[in-house]
Amino acid sequence: MFSSFPPPVCYSLDPVRIHQNSLDPEMSSFLASFKDSKNEASWMEICRRHYSKVMTSKPHDLTGRVLADLLEKVVTHLSSSASDCFFGPAQYKAEEKNVQNAVLSSVEQLGINTCLRYGSFLKLLTDDAASDLTLLMKHMKMFLSNQRVQTSSELTSHQDGYPGHDWLTCTVFLLTAGDVQQSLRLLLSLSSLLTSAFIWPARIHSSVHVPVEAAASGIPPVYWSTAHYVEMLLKDELPLVQSAFRMSGFTPSQMCLHWLTQCFWNYLDWTEICHYVSTCVLMGPDYQVYMCVAVFKHLQPEILQRTQAQELQVFLKEEPIQDFKVSRYLDFMEDLERSYRSIVLSDMKTICSPAE
């Protein structure tokens, strides 16, 4: 349509306004006590209560560097806790020369370019961010490659590391406004938590932390755990949505895998992507299940309408999730937690030895 790039200004959307408010005073004073958190078993529980309160009353306070700093403190606390450090502390030291020599795939290069364009659009990154993001991606590639099991599988996805792009790493990079060192610290600490196995597909791909059979299959825990429980909850909580999928010959699992693999990029607004990550980290990995159910609840009217028009799959895959706010559905997700956590979270914890 156009002879040159970029297209005329009239064809471009206005940049999303990123609120950079100060954090709620009560939450700020609580986080100021972080240095004593290791000696206080209830610190995380109090943090979750504050987070829930701020999310439901002032969700725009939890954005940008404020949210990045909060996440870093939380993952640092959890990774230093014997009960929460699920995979063991991250062991990673790499010489700068070796990191620079790491080779990124063409898919990863395309992902980096997409992230840089998005970060520029959101006004989160500076002009020299390309080299920083490339460096971070190389660090993560080296770190994760050392945790992958060698299998005899002939699947293409096992031939050269993770087959897709690491969208969570890009999300964290934008969240920290391009701070490589903070991003690296946050990701390394996050890698020791159970949550990382679900919100970070690249981290658990062919991982030594899952049985060899599961690693060789190429099927991620997001599919055989998260998506499974999303379908189970839909039957009880949103039976009309479940029926609509059955009539369409299309499963909720397929859509969940699609959304979660790319960390909701291209589907949710930036603030909601950040809140998805922070909610799963702070509230627990089972909130990934409740988040998907909440999205389906939000989309229920459209799902029913599109099913009648025989265009459900096209709608879900090609249209963004309009007007969805994590904060509006947090109470709903907490209700789901009270009803299902004993089942969902317990099963997620068996990731290292899943049931047959």
| 220-263: pLDDT as tens digits | 888 888 999 999 999 999 999 999 999 998 899 999 999 999 99
pLDDT tens across 83-98, in order? 888 887 878 887 777 8
Query: Which alpha helices (H) appear in the chain, and where do they start and end?
Result: 25-32, 43-57, 64-79, 96-101, 106-121, 129-145, 167-175, 180-190, 196-199, 201-204, 212-217, 221, 228-237, 239-248, 252-261, 270-283, 287-308, 312-318, 326-348
Is residue 166 over pLDDT 50? yes
Q: How confident is the model at residue 203 (pLDDT cuts 50, 70, 90)?
A: confident
Which pTM does this prediction carry?
Answer: 0.89
Q: What pLDDT, on the 0 to 100 scale, is given for residue 260?
A: 95
Q: Which residues contact 224 (CB under 8 A, 6 or more apart)?
A: 214, 354
- pLDDT class for 7, splitting at 50, 70, 90? low
Mean pLDDT for the chain overall:
86
The residue that leads in pLDDT, 6 or 309, is: 309
* Burial grade of 11 (CB within 10 A; 0-12, 13-18, 19 or more): exposed
CA separation for the pair 99, 184 (Å, rounded) = 13
For the stretch 47-83, what's the b/e string if a residue is b when 16 or more beta carbons lie within 10 angstroms of its beta carbon? beebbbebbeeebebbbbebbbbbbbbbbbbbbebee
Tokens 């909610």 locate to 279
Give the sign of the dihedral formed by CA 119, CA 120, CA 124, CA 129.
positive
What confidence score (pLDDT) does residue 9 get?
A: 63
Sign of CA dihedral 98, 100, 103, 104: positive
pLDDT digits (tens, 9 = 90+) for 14-72: 555 555 555 667 667 766 766 655 556 688 898 999 999 999 988 888 888 889 999 99
| pLDDT value at 5 more than 70 | no
Q: Name residues whose C-beta falls within 8 Å of residue 85's C-beta, 6 or more positions apart in sequence.
A: 78, 79, 192, 193
- Calculate mean pLDDT across residues 98-109: 88
CA separation (Å) from 167 to 46, 67, 124, 173, 198? 30, 18, 16, 10, 13
Domains annotated for the chain, with CATH where assigned, are 25-79 (no CATH), 96-207 (no CATH), 221-348 (1.10.472)
pLDDT tens string 110-143 = 999 999 999 999 999 988 899 999 999 999 998 8
Partners of residue 207 on adjacent β-strands:
148
Q: Are 259 and 291 a contacting pair, CB within 8 Å? A: no
CA distances from 320 to 24, 60, 277 (A): 30, 21, 18
Asked if residues 282 and 51 have their Cβ atoms less than 8 Å apart, the reply is yes
Between CA 314 and CA 40 the distance in angstroms is 49
Provide the residue type at 290 as one letter.
Answer: Y
What is the rounded CA–CA span in Å between residue 297 and residue 291? 10
**Residue 4: DSSP 8-state:** S
Q: Which residues of 159-177 are buried (b: 16+ CB within 10 A; e: fewer)?
A: eebbbbbbbbbbbbbbbbb
* Whole-number pLDDT of residue 35: 61
Question: What's the pLDDT at 1?
Answer: 47
| pLDDT for the residue 222 | 83
- Give the residue-averaged pLDDT of 297-305: 97
